[in-house]
Amino acid sequence: MQVRNFCIIAHIDHGKSTLADRLLEHTGTVTKRQMKEQLLDDLDLERQRGITIKARAVSMRYMHKGEEYELNLIDTPGHVDFQYEVSRSLACCEGALLLVDAFQGVEAQTVANAYAAMEHDLAIIPVINKIDLAYARPEEVANEMEQSLGSDPESIVKVSAKAGIGIEDLLTTIIEKVPPPSGDPDAPLQAMVFDSNYDDYRGAVTYIRVMNGTIKKGQKIRFLRAKSEYEVIEMGQFRPGRLPCDTLTSGQVGYLICNIKSLKEVHIGDTVSVPGEKASEPLTGYSRPKRMVYCGLFPSDGQDFSELRDALEKLSINDPSFEFEPETSDALGFGFRCGFLGLLHMEIVQQRLEQESDVDLVQTAPNVTYEIITKSGQTLMIHKPQDVPDPGDIEEFRQPIVRCNIVVPTDYIGPVIQLCQERRGIQTAQEYLGPTRAMISYDIPLAEVIYDLHDKIKSCTRGYGTLDYELQGYEPADLVRMDILVNGNRVDALSVVCHRADADRRGRAVVKKLKSEIERHMFEVAVQAAIGSRVIARETVTAMRKNVTAKCYGGDISRKRKLLQKQKEGKKRMKAVGNVEISQKAFMSVLSTGENG
């Protein structure tokens, strides 16, 4: 039986999961009765949001010209934050379907994914989807694909995943264009671990792609990186549920169950081989994902700390691109500093924690990783503003710069350029994909991108602009740490790193917000924003006052003065010993708007 391994890559909402549904249906892998929309998106959050978050594998059998073929499909996410999932899928395939919407055309993420597939030397099959739409423009989109991706218009397959048009042609093209796997079934076993999940009854389930050799049920295997040995208790393929089988040979994709009690023992990118002298060479694996955004997660009720830790451990096992470490905050108590690939990834993790583990969270403002070179020549990686040393110790403050590729209709080029320049962006390229669409490239500080650049681009282009970004490196900039002081004490959870030119505006916005949220005390409370020892903004929460002179009517003024003086001294003493209570609500309101100010 011949094997073909391929994945589907595309921009968000171009129809990857729907095309996967049609392929499953057409090959008879699932019956009409079992069929539901976006069958492979099985996380609750994926179905609620209508997006793919985790890559999923499925094996299909298909008869072509009297010969049976095994087609292994890996469905991938489209959002830029889940690029790591896509890179893992590409390493397990020989071919890729590059899917483009017949109306929206080539988008920023389409270009990024196409280049990633080319780097992995995959056979790329260009596909135009949604050709049955009344406003589809397949000819223009084919020209755009030729200009931006170098696709031959003759080789483009035109389909409608929803209506099931052109699926037969697509399957034939996959069989003819995607090369068969090159592995040797008789060589020593060599298989790549590309994903894993945890089954409450069976333990860790390891997803593998066999590169060389054959693996049999009951045999002993060794994970080369983890240096651990197990016996294969069950193995099989995804069709799309787990279907046991007795052997997997080179080129096939499937799963292993080996009585592994903890997912910590399964490393994604590890190589599975045989124990002893006959073990194969380890595969190169995957480069570690770069965490771009960090934020603090704290339980809103301090008692839930251990529950939050268990929930984070469970989630990080299934999602290796997310990391966490304990931290403490004077304001919020015990919690964790968590690293994410991007803002959507952060939002998804937070929602999964709240839904799957029922933990109530407080989240600090997201920030990016900075590099600081101190006067003594040390290089520090700063994940949170509190770690920034005093200004006198800093030789150079560096920020991460990303290359943003923005695809926009030509009518909106002006507003997008203005938006990027306001974010201190430097234009690097501008090319026209067709008469009505252009791609603009800008180098912009990551801190300016993650908060709301995507939303702003969408609103100034009426939803037609798309953004994709990749890290370029670190560059020096005029950055400062801005602290918020309440009653003279620094509130660590509200510190931010920002550009010196923005500090005044942001400082004023935060102190104004805090003034309206902090409840009045018996003494006046000063709310200040400061850079080092220089205060740049101040608001005062006035004290509650009792009218102590109410009972003095008429008579000598000195009696009133004496009472007022006594009250003033009492308030002064209270201010010296009093603590300012900042409610959870005040924190939440500042953390949700402090960044956008």
- Binding residues for GTP are 13-18, 129-132
Distances (CA, A) of 385 to 160, 323, 423, 477, 578: 50, 18, 20, 16, 27
Structure tokens at 238: 């995804």
For residue 339, which of 288, 391, 283, 291 has the smallest C-alpha distance?
291
DSSP characters over 331-343:
TTEEEEEEEESSH
> CA–CA separation, 17 vs 51, rounded Å?
9
Annotated binding site: 13-18, 129-132
Q: Please check whether residue 73 is in contact with residue 57, taking contact to mean a CB–CB distance below 8 angstroms.
A: yes
Neighbours of 379 (CB within 10 A): 12
Tokens for 510?
Answer: 């935060």
Q: For residues 39 and 77, what is the distance between their CA atoms, to the nearest angstrom?
A: 14
C-alpha to C-alpha distance for 487 and 15, rounded to whole angstroms = 55
- Distance from chain centroid for Cα 286: 17
CB 110 within 8 A of CB 11: yes
CA 268 to CA 208: how far, in whole Å?
A: 10
End-to-end CA distance of the chain: 61
Cα distances (Å, whole numbers) of residue 221 to 203, 230, 280: 17, 6, 12
HSE-CB for 558 with a 13 A CA cutoff: 0
CA-based torsion, 429, 430, 432, 438: positive or negative: positive
What is the three-class DSSP state of 327? strand
| Distance, CA of 493 to chain centre | 23
Spatial separation of the C-alpha atoms in residues 518 and 185, rounded to whole Å:
69
The amino acid at 215 = I
Task: State the number of CA atoms in the 13 A half-sphere of 505 facing the CB.
Answer: 8
Residue reference for tokens 């931010």: 496
Report how far residue 265's alpha carbon sits from residue 274's, in angstroms, rounded to the nearest whole number.
Answer: 17
Helix 83-90, helix 108-119: angle, nearest 10: 30
Distance CA 147, CA 150 (A): 6
**Whose CA is closest to 158, among 142, 135, 172, 174?**
142
Residue 430: both structure tokens together: 């501008």
DSSP summary character for residue 411: G
Alpha-carbon span 203 to 260, nearest angstrom = 6
Single-letter code of the amino acid located at 532? G
**Cα 306 from Cα 314, distance rounded (Å):** 12
Helices (H), 42-133: 44-49, 83-90, 108-119
